[in-house]
Amino acid sequence: MSEKSPLKLLCVTAHPDDECFAFGGALMLAAEAGVETSVICFTDGQAATNRGVAASGAELGRMRREEFAASCKILDVAHHELLDYQDAQLEFANFSETAALLVQRIRTYKPDVVLTFGGDGAMNTHADHTMVSCFTNAAFHWAASPKRFPGLGPTHTARRLFYNTTNFFFPGRPAPLPAPWTVTLDVTSVQHRKFEAFRAHTSQLPLMEKFQSFFEKRAGQEFYTLVSTPEPQAAIQQTDLFVGL
Ligand SMILES: [Zn+2]
């Protein structure tokens, strides 16, 4: 038996439900392969259009924290953390402080693979998604640099940073400018659980109902772009986030 400790994956998101809509397949496949998975979500999603039975933003935030925890459980996420940033306000957050928070998490958790959104802001071009991409990109590099935040613990060089990307657009919506993918994940084996995790976001069910048939047609694959690694290399097409690790 191998003495090697399990590989670790860190996924950084903006809102409760991003973890299943965007990254659910990757998280479940990784867990199935024995990878330890962790999700950090920046906001409690209290600016959402769909508000369930919540009477206030704070109440919606509390509901969505619970929904996030339930979804992470279905996705077999080993650790999840929901931060206290304001939904729909991430573009105004202090960049250096926010990146430092992620540097500290990366140096402590020591992931091999980091997943986040691309700069396009994902399917709905949400500014929070773009900002999470920027913070995570900076933190991925700065966590590995002894010059950056030396007070936040020993450096950690994660092996791969991937952006989530897409091979389709929502009809009738402003299209993002997505990164070309380098990884096509076949997530059909975990598709039913991905939908189960969607449905754990009870307050967001109207959104799910609106797009359900559309998602069902497209749900068998997730697309990722390898954006950073410690080794210089040509981009090649893969079907696994962990090849060679
Ligand atoms: Zn989101």
Q: 150 C-alpha to center of ligand 1: Å?
A: 31
* Helix ranges restricted to H, the chain: 18-21, 24-32, 57-74, 95-109, 127-142, 191-199, 205-218
* pLDDT tens for each residue of 160-197: 999 999 999 888 888 999 999 999 999 999 999 999 99
Q: 103 C-alpha to center of ligand 1: Å?
A: 21
Q: 6 C-alpha to center of ligand 1: Å?
A: 29
Q: 145 C-alpha to center of ligand 1: Å?
A: 29
Q: 19 C-alpha to center of ligand 1: Å?
A: 8
Q: 32 C-alpha to center of ligand 1: Å?
A: 25
> Can you say whether residue 94 is alpha, beta or left, with left for phi > 0 and alpha for psi between -120 and 50 degrees?
beta
| DSSP designation for 87 | T
Closest CA to 239 of 189, 168, 173: 189
One-letter amino acid identity for 80? Answer: H
Q: Give dist(CA 155, CA 188) in Å, integer.
A: 37
Q: 175 C-alpha to center of ligand 1: Å?
A: 16
Q: What does each of the 245 residues of the chain score in pLDDT, given as a tens digit?
A: 456 789 999 999 999 999 999 999 999 999 999 999 999 999 999 998 888 888 899 999 999 999 999 999 999 999 999 999 999 999 999 999 999 999 999 999 999 999 999 999 998 899 999 999 999 999 999 999 999 999 999 999 999 999 999 999 888 888 999 999 999 999 999 999 999 999 999 999 988 888 777 777 777 999 999 999 999 999 999 999 999 99
Torsion sign across C-alpha atoms 20, 23, 28, 31 = negative
Q: 18 C-alpha to center of ligand 1: Å?
A: 5
Torsion sign across C-alpha atoms 19, 107, 109, 181 = positive
